[in-house]
Structure 1
């Protein structure tokens, strides 16, 4: 178990929850750490509640997937000050390249609590989906699948003695790319689109690519990652999202 709270992780979480994109989280030194990493399930209440409030307010739970309690923070950066921060707005031009991703599992230290266990064999899937295609009121292409990478392993890169797991996800080297990254391309005049990143834990079976990007290949409006994830028994672990718009 970890016994020392890290100010680096908490600062990063607070900045994200304030929707501030001016602070970049320091890159943590890579260390060889044992697997079978166990973290308590109980999140810091203020952080957990703030994430849930953002997801409810922007109707992510209503339009993309049912409500769940995130097990950590999914940090997504497009470089510079272009950090995805739970509903901030980024430009279309700034989000055309594949981002950098990190998963941070923060938890208080209490060895009596049930833990979240991550082993060397565990694999995860990362997706990016747009529930507002072609617009928030017209769902004929929704959801639109922008990116899928599966079979990702989470390796702890946090400093020794820290009480959190920090796993940098190298999308160029880790896992299997099922669907090539396609950046946001909202049609002109269709308002702001929500672009939602989701990290899932796999159930031992590798998911397969959907048949198409619009409607995730199902051919039904307002259908997407929820139906696809249920087919492969994927468990949602973390979420983050941003807005992008083409004003024309």
Structure 2
């Protein structure tokens, strides 16, 4: 029993001398943290020796990590090498990630307003990956065919969220009569290396695409662009910025979703692309839009997509008025209605003369076989009925 008592006293001494740090403001760097403030443990000292020992270990480990961080920053100076930048970024997380005060604050706030600090971005990324949000996004973009119909592949680098809506869920088109609130949370600085800003920005493009717009010409489905905006400035502290209202250049105004009757469920994809040295400049139109052509014309690749999500919507009686008004206002026509194609159009339309004759021959043969079978069955029934009379 002597050992637990010794650890308890050590825990009390360490937590009094160098307890977990205070929480920093949004734009204050964790690498220049002031002397840590006192931390109020959940249990009083001595109530649980194991708890006291854990606090002692965490406090000592945090102290060692912060000393290593300070030495590395002093050695790196104003012009650190890429390797030193990488190591400093790692230590800025390691020195605080197990701090009970940091963990408690993240649990209660989710890190809102604190993402200038690497430790809160790290905790947010862990939560995004481990608690199912990323898994759900990837399941839906694969299961619902965003990959490969729109994107060849996708490796998310940021969390995209539509306020109050689960990725891939079926929603009423009336809910999107006005643009939704869409936010993106970056977990790492978009600009590598040393910059003049603690929270450097990069420019991004937002595209909203209907992957299932009906085409009269091809009798199939094509893409339709509902919104396009370039030059959206984002940084690690832009997690609460609505991309629709953020700064940037609106290339194509928002068109509400209006799935026509008979066209089934439409997939409406929200895609965020990191721009290169210049904003996409190739002309884009709502009709005839193709995201692969857009990438090729602007020197972009699928790997430039940092985040993607989608919702689904279909025609309903309740949304019929909204859909009709949207067609009239934005397309200048009545909302069309679609039905199942005729039988002869199932494998192509129209049939040429040779195909039509072949179809007629098959139909005649089919009808002949049916007639023979009916005659055969009828004859057998007649014989069966005649035998009792003869007897």
1:204: how far off? 1.3
Q: Does 1:48 align with 2:120?
A: no
Match of 1:133 in 2: 213
The 5-angstrom pairing of residues 1-248 of structure 1 reads 1-2=92-93, 3=97, 4=102, 6-7=106-107, 28-29=112-113, 33=116, 44=129, 46-77=132-163, 83-105=164-186, 116-119=188-191, 120-134=200-214, 138-140=219-221, 142-157=222-237, 166-208=239-281, 210-216=283-289, 224-232=290-298, 233=300, 235-248=304-317
How has the CA–CA distance of structure 1 residues 53 and 178 changed in structure 2, closer, same or farther, with 3 Å as cutoff? same
Say if 1:85 and 1:240, in contact at 8 Å, map to a contact too: no
TM-score (norm 1): 0.68
1:122: how far off? 1.2
Say if 1:200 and 1:236, in contact at 8 Å, map to a contact too: yes
How has the CA–CA distance of structure 1 residues 155 and 121 changed in structure 2, closer, same or farther, with 3 Å as cutoff? closer
Separation in 2 of the partners of 1:170 and 1:8? 26
User: Between Structure 1 and Structure 2, which shows a larger proportion of strand residues?
Assistant: 1
How has the CA–CA distance of structure 1 residues 9 and 134 changed in structure 2, closer, same or farther, with 3 Å as cutoff? farther
Unaligned residue ranges in structure 1 (runs of 5+): 11-25, 78-82, 107-115, 158-164, 217-223
How has the CA–CA distance of structure 1 residues 187 and 205 changed in structure 2, closer, same or farther, with 3 Å as cutoff? same
Separation in 1 of the partners of 2:220 and 2:109? 38
Separation in 2 of the partners of 1:155 and 1:193? 32
Higher RCO (CA 8 Å, separation ≥ 6 residues): 1
Separation in 2 of the partners of 1:88 and 1:64? 18
Say if 1:191 and 1:247, in contact at 8 Å, map to a contact too: no
Name the larger-Rg structure.
2
Say if 1:92 and 1:245, in contact at 8 Å, map to a contact too: yes
1:72: how far off? 2.0
Say if 1:179 and 1:209, in contact at 8 Å, map to a contact too: no
Paired residues in the alignment total: 200
Separation in 1 of the partners of 2:276 and 2:232? 13
Separation in 2 of the partners of 1:34 and 1:50? 27
1:8: how far off? 6.5
Match of 2:197 in 1: none
DSSP 3-state at the match of 1:229: helix
